Amino acid sequence: MMICNYPGMKVKPGSMGKPFPGLTGAILDPKTYEPVEEEGSIGLIAFRPGWPAMMRTYWNNEEAYKEKFKNGWYITGDRSSIDKDGYYWFVGRDDDVINTGGHLVSPFEVESALLEHEAVAESAVVSKPDEINMEVVKAFITLNKGYEPNDDLELKIMNFIRKRLSPLAMPQEIEYVDSLPKTRSGKIMRRLLHAQEWGEEIGDVSTLEDD
C-alpha cells in the first residue's frame, strides 16, 4: 500500500488518496520520465526508491527488476493524474490506456461511466485497431434484466458516454455479451478481450474462472 487515505485525511470519493507519509511519489511523463507538474495531466505513477519494505529484486529475474527503474524513479505500472491538493486519481494500468488519435483515454473511466447507464450491468473497455486513429474505444457489456441488445440501445449508450465524458471516450463499437471473462477472484480479464480485438495470442488463462 503506497497511495492511500490515511487517518486524519479528508477522503475524496473516487480518488486513490495520497502517497503514504515518507514516500516521495510523482506522475512522470511517459517519454522523458520527468515529473509532470501540470495539475490533472495523466502520467506514470512513480516513487523514489528506498521506501520501507521496498522489494530488492524479482526472484531469478534481476533484469526485469532493473527495468522498473527509470531516471531514478520506480515505475509502478499504473497511470493517474494528481489534483491541486495532491490526490491521485487512477486512470488505468500502463498497458490498458487507450491512445486514440494521440489522445489518452482511460478504459477505467469509460467502464465506470457505462455502469451509470441503467441498461448496463457490467462493462469492459479495450482498444481496437483503427486505420485513422490507430486505436479506438470498444466496449463489451452485459445488460441488466429487461433490456434487449439492439442497435437502438447501442446508439443510446454511445451518446450517453459522448455526453457524459467526451466524443473521444465514446465507444465506436459496443458488443453485447452474455458474460465477461473474469478471474476466479472476480476481476474482469480485459487482457483477453484486448487480445481478441488485436488478433493476438491470448496467453496464460490459468486464472480464468471456471464455467
Partner 1 sequence: MDDMHKIVLDYVIEEYLEDEDEEITVDTPLISGGIVDSFSMVSLKRFLEKKYDLSIPDEDATPEAFDTVNSICNLVNEFIEKKKGK
Tell me which residues touch partner 1 (CB under 8 A). 100-101, 151-152, 154-155, 158-159, 162, 166-168, 170, 172
2 vs 170, beta carbon nearer partner 1: 170
CB of 109 to partner 1, least distance (A): 15
CB of 152 to partner 1, least distance (A): 7
CB of 167 to partner 1, least distance (A): 4
Alpha helices in 81-173 (DSSP H): 107-115, 151-164
CB of 98 to partner 1, least distance (A): 12
173 vs 200, beta carbon nearer partner 1: 173
8 vs 102, beta carbon nearer partner 1: 102
Give every CB contact of residue 157 below 8 A, 6+ residues apart in sequence: 114, 117, 119, 120, 139, 141, 171, 174
Phi/psi region, residue 41 (left: phi>0; alpha: psi -120 to 50; beta: rest), is beta
Residue 30 cell numbers, joined: 511517459
CB of 42 to partner 1, least distance (A): 18
Residue 199, classified by CB atoms within 10 Å of its CB into exposed (0-12), middle (13-18) or buried (19+), is exposed
How open is the CA angle 88-68-100, to the nearest 5 degrees?
60
Rounded CA-CA distance 92/131 in Å is 24
168 vs 195, beta carbon nearer partner 1: 168
Rounded CA-CA distance 75/98 in Å is 19
The β-bridge relationship of strands 173-176 and 134-143 is: parallel
119 vs 168, beta carbon nearer partner 1: 168
CB of 141 to partner 1, least distance (A): 16
14 vs 101, beta carbon nearer partner 1: 101
Residue 75 cell numbers, joined: 515505475
